[in-house]
Every structure is written in structure tokens, then in C-alpha cells.
Amino acid sequence: MRPIILLFLAALTLAAQELKPGAALPFQAGDTVCYVGDSITHGGTYHSIVTLFYTTRFPDREIKYYNTGISGDRAAGIMSDTRYRLNVDILSHKPTVATIMLGMNDVGRNDYGPKNSGPEIEKKRQTNLDTYNENMTKLVASLRGVGARIIYITPSIYEEGANLTIKDAADNMTGVNGALGQCAEKEREWAKAPNSGYADFYQVMNAVNERERKTEPGFTIVGKDRVHPGAVGHFVMAYTLLKAQGLPKEVSTIEVNAKKKKAGKLVNASVEKIAAAPGKLEFDALEKALPMVVPEDARPALKMVPFMQDLNQETLSVKGLKKGKYELRIDGQSVGEFDAAQLKQGVNLAENANTPQYKQSELATKLSIERNNQGKKIRDYVTTLYGMSKAKFDVLDQAALVEKLRASAATAEGKKDAGSTRTRLAFEAASNPGKLEREYDEMMVALRKASQPKVNHYEVVRK
């Protein structure tokens, strides 16, 4: 084995040893999953990747997924508006699984930093943590009351260590990450209860930061506001949840012996119509899953977590070939050249952008991104209703809601700021109730349809 390959494998092994993702049960067919959280969940990126993975890996599992994150939210916020936020926005979905990712707002970031000190501020910080613990307990009890099993997602990190010298970087509120660590420790303890599990975003993100800074001192897995991860950070988070669930690494494994004209080891795949002639092997294969195509803006994360090794192995192994170079064709299209030794050892087709499986999965990834963007529109609308509900307006009175938003939209007419735009969109959504949700559901149907596997014809031809 070449030294560079040994180094690469050693790096992957080291990464796997350093990262401790947690432990949680996988989603199953028939599950309804609610992702509960704040702005990091509201944006939807990490859990849209999780949904994409499940849809391409388990295309026969019909699972419902609901984003129930709201920007700025806290456990206390949810429990202070049980009528709308808790009962309508979350519990009405009747979740069988709820992931809960809260803490970033609960700890009270403005109570930290070098300018905040003294007994009163320490008391306030502790009160914030106590309030978090109390309301998380109430929230979990409410979710268990409708039959949901719980996956605690520890908070993502607050960036204190990076040298964020860029002009618009947020002030460093030193101490926040330590407070989030206390939230994470609590969640690890709570996850020991029956029908519970956890995914340790906090530990993994800290570990990635620490490791990457050994070669790039200014590296951060979080954004310039020190709170919100970008696409790379969200992919690391998605990887962590999937690993915590103990999901299999195999998309599929296909082993065929050209000399014996028979299949060997098969995982999540079937093979038939094997035929061999001098210098050529061909067969039909049905892989019961697709490889997951990582969104373009998240691909740098593949250097930080061993996703391909741990969760995306689409292995083709051909034994019994004479020495030499071979062209691999799938459905008549050339997808690469390999020598007999490579094919005997096995090649990971999940990395090969030329295969029809990859191209099919690319469409699924595109549909997933579109679905996520639609989901953000829904969450923006719900955020408007949540604010109104907290202000004691009855958002469940549909006629009154439309009139209220009509008046607000009229006031916002001609204005181009974000708040005015959100108000106009909220009025449109209220005027056509359920439209956004119906479109979102249709996108899930399209994603599931695009992820259904197909029979492919393989040819291995000597050059």
C-alpha cells in the first residue's frame, strides 16, 4: 500500500477516534420527526441533510419530517406559549420522534464577555441555566405525553477561540461556550432515560475546531457572528446525528467473480444475468439505495469528518479478472478505468460523479435544497405568528389573523426592509392557509420519487 494512502487512512482513523457523536436510535418507517430548536434549526440545513440521507439510503421508509425551529427561541419561550407554539406548531404533528436543539439563546449570551462580572451577573447566569433545565424538563414531558421518543442534540458551539479579525465579526462574549457545555452535560445525563438518545454536536464541533487549528490557526467551524455555522458546519452536525444513530456505512456492496460467473458478497443489492466472455464481464444489479451527493457548498467538510468512509460506501468488487486495465461501463456509459487489483479490492462508486446512480442522487440533492428553502418560508411565517401569539393576539382566529396582517402589509407597502418583506409574505400565507405546507409536502413526494433505485447494467471490459 502506498505511503500516501496509509497517511490518508491514518488521518481518517484519527478523526474517527477524536469525534464522539453520541448514541440514538435511527428513524424508522412510519415515524414522524419534529426537529425542535432555535435559529440554527429554523434555517434547516443540518436536518435537511439528514432527511436527504434517509431518503436516498432508505427509499422504502416513509417518514414525515417537520422543521419546528424558530429564530431566537428558548425552552422557556416554547413553554410560555403552550397554546400556539407548543400545541399547534409542535405537538399537533403527533411526533413519534423529537430532536431538541436548544441552549444558544437560553444561556443569555449578553450576560457574558469581559465587561460582565461580579456576583449579580454570576447569579443571573446561573438563573438562566436553571430556567433552561426547568423548561427543558417540561418540554420533554409534553413531547413524551404524545408518545415521542427524544433525541437530545447538544448545543452547537459558540466561537470564542478563533482570531476573527474581520471587520464585522461579533464581539467575543467569553464564557458562553462554557455555559453551553453545561447544557450539553445536562443533556447527556437526560439521555440516559428510557426512549432517549443524544447527538453530541458540542463535543464534535469543539474537536473539529481544535484539530483544524493545528494547521490553520484562524479556522472556525462557526460563522463570523460566532453563533451560526455555515454549510460546512451544518454538514458536520448532520454527520454527527447520523453517526449517533449508528447507521450503516454501506449504500451497497456488490461482489462478482468473473471467473466463476457468480455473485459473492451482496449487501443491500441483488445481481442477476451474469455473463462472461474473454476480456468482458457483464451483469444487471439493483442497488437498494443511492449514494448521497453532498451539496457543493458543504464539500469542504469531507476533509473534517470521515463521512465517505463511515456512511457513504457504494462498493463494487470484481474478482477473477486477469491482470490489466479495465473500463467500467454502467448503462452503456463509461464511468472510469481501473486495474484488476483495484477492482478485486473494491472501488467506492459513491465518489464517482459519472455513474447514473450519482447523477440520479444529484437530482435528489437539488430537490432537497429546494425543499429546504421552502421550509424556511414556512418557518418565517410561523415566526411571525409566534411573535403575535406571545403578544396575546389569537393567531388561531383565522379571520382576525388575516385582517391584522392585511393592515400590517398595507403599512409595509413600498418598504424594502426585511421586516416589511416578511410581513407581506405572512399576509399572503395567511390569505391562502396551507398553501406553503402543501407545496412542501409535494416536494417531499418528489424527493422520495427521485430517490427510488433502478436496475443498472454493468460491463467490465478489458482495455
DSSP labels, 51-63? HHHHHHH-TT---
For the chain, what is the total number of helices (H) and then of strands (E)?
14, 15
Looking at residue 166, what is its pLDDT?
60
Q: Cβ neighbours of residue 70 under 8 Å, at least 6 residues apart?
A: 37, 38, 39, 42, 77, 85, 89, 379, 382, 383, 386
pLDDT at 419: 84
SS3 content of the chain, % helix, strand, coil (to 5): 50, 20, 30
Alpha-carbon distance of 249 to 364, in angstroms, equals 19
pLDDT digits (tens, 9 = 90+) for 142-176: 999 999 999 999 999 999 987 776 666 788 889 99
Q: Round to whole Å and give the CA distance between 341 and 319.
A: 9
Task: Round to whole Å and give the CA distance between 188 and 152.
Answer: 8
Biggest alpha carbon–alpha carbon distance for the chain:
83
* Amino acid of residue 34: C
pLDDT at site 93: 97
Residues whose CB is less than 8 angstroms from the CB of residue 416 and which lie 6 or more positions away in sequence, other chains included: none
Across 173-322, the runs of DSSP E, i.e. the strands, are 196-199, 250-257, 262-267, 269-277, 280-287, 313-319
58-63 CB contacts, 8 Å cutoff, 24+ apart: 58/29, 58/289, 59/288, 59/289, 59/290, 59/448, 59/451, 59/452, 59/453, 60/29, 60/288, 61/27, 61/28, 61/29, 62/29, 62/30, 62/448, 63/27, 63/28, 63/29, 63/30, 63/31, 63/32, 63/33
- Locate all alpha helices (DSSP H) within 312-355, ordered by sequence: 340-345
Grid coordinates representing 265 are 458478497
pTM: 0.93
CATH 3.90.79.10 fits 20-244, yes or no: no
Closest residue by Cα to residue 447 from 374, 379, 353, 380? 374
Q: What is the arrangement of strands in the sheet containing 97-101, beginning at the earlier edge strand? A: 22-23, 196-199, 149-153, 97-101, 32-37, 64-69
The domain spans of the chain are 20-244, 248-463
Using CA atoms, how far apart are residues 90 and 84, in angstroms rounded to an integer? 9
Q: What pLDDT is stored for residue 14 in this prediction?
A: 43
3-class DSSP assignment, residue 257: strand
Q: What is the pLDDT of residue 1?
A: 37
Calpha distance 50→158 (Å, rounded): 22
Provide the edge-to-edge strand list for the sheet that holds 333-339.
269-277, 280-287, 455-462, 325-330, 333-339
Q: What is the DSSP letter of 118?
A: S
Q: What pLDDT sits at residue 11?
A: 44
Q: Kindly give the parts of the chain with pLDDT less than 70.
A: 1-17, 165-168
Q: Which three cell numbers stand for residue 279?
A: 476480456
